[in-house]
Amino acid sequence: MPDATRRFAPGTLWGTIVARTQAARRRGALQPIATETHTVEDAGVHFQVRVVSSLVHKETDGHAHWQDAADRRNPFLPYDKDLHVADVSDTHVCLLNKYNVLDHHILIVTRVFEHQESALTPRDFAALGACMAEYEALGFYNSGPVAGASQPHKHIQLVPLPLAGAIALPIASLLEAAPRRTEPSRLDRFPFVHAFAWLDAAGLAEPAAWASSVEALYRALLAAVGLDPASPRPPPYNLLITRRHMLLIPRVRARFETVPVNALGFAGSFFVPGPSGLDVIRRAGPMTVLWHVSTHGPLP
């Protein structure tokens, strides 16, 4: 039963996302954040730095947001119907990201509350796989505030590829250069702790089976970076996943100086609250920023 977990008709998701986006914009349900994009090259990667002038008005400090979470309404229970894209499965729904920086940015959200710091499950990966089978995209997971999450209700995020113009994914060249191994490995040009694995894109034809194999590999990546794969709530990490790759990075800090970092930073895309954030990245270098938020100890 390849589509046992899928509740939308195959081949319809992208068109639905586009239509729902247009409708949500007309109704004012979406509040896109305007940005100006700059490129900063480091270690052969052309990092995209989006200067977000309005981000200062939106809480970006995960710790502060998390502490106040009990006093805030969960935006996913109930969710805004104008942001609803599709029912993905019995356990997950697909919503538009209300505060989107990238167009057609969606969230794959659990129907009932699960904590954002909890380990990903085969049901999470089945819902992700059902969506990723529809179009080329980058999925990512921020496992708690230290990893860049701003909501405590479990959600995986999905943004279409390419991320910026002709650049499919800023770190794609490094990923594609990695040896094709079946077990977790590392990329020599990444200075931070991480684990990398290849995926079989053809497996997405059967999301449930794909989810089972990818979930096992996800746990192997956790173990490879020293996190307990059996823990119901592992220490903070970021996970990035495309049809061909999976990358996991443990996290120890939410930001470098004034620059908040979530999983997209490790994909080669930063969002900063103003010109000073761009100055920080240019001065320190993007790889140093990523090293700092993912590694114990002082900066080299």
Query: In the chain, helix, strand, coil percent, each to 5?
Result: 35, 25, 45
Mean pLDDT over 18-43 rounds to: 94
pLDDT of residue 61: 39
Please report, for the chain, the start and end positions of each structural domain, with discontinuous segments joined by +.
13-294
Percent of the chain with pLDDT over 70: 88
Q: Grade residue 71 by pLDDT with cuts at 50, 70 and 90.
A: very low
Could you read off the pLDDT of 34-66 as tens digits, one per residue? 899 999 999 999 999 999 865 444 444 333 343
What is the per-residue pLDDT for 297? Answer: 57
At 252-281, the pLDDT tens digits run 999 999 999 999 999 999 999 889 999 999
pLDDT of residue 60: 41
Exposure letters 248-279 (e unless 16+ CB within 10 A, then b): bbbbeebbbeebbbbbbbbbbbbbbbeeebbe
Domain covering 13-294 assigned CATH 3.30.428.70 in the classification: yes
Q: What is the pLDDT of residues 97-135, one digit of tens each?
A: 999 999 999 999 999 999 999 999 999 999 999 999 999
Mean pLDDT for the stretch of residues 172-181:
88
| C-beta separation of 130 from 88 below 8 A | yes
CB-CB contact of 151 with 75 (8 Å): yes
**Among the listed residues 44, 26, 17, 11, the one whose alpha carbon sits nearest the alpha carbon of residue 175:** 44
Torsion angle of alpha carbons 99, 104, 107, 108, nearest 10°?
170
69, pLDDT greater than 50: no
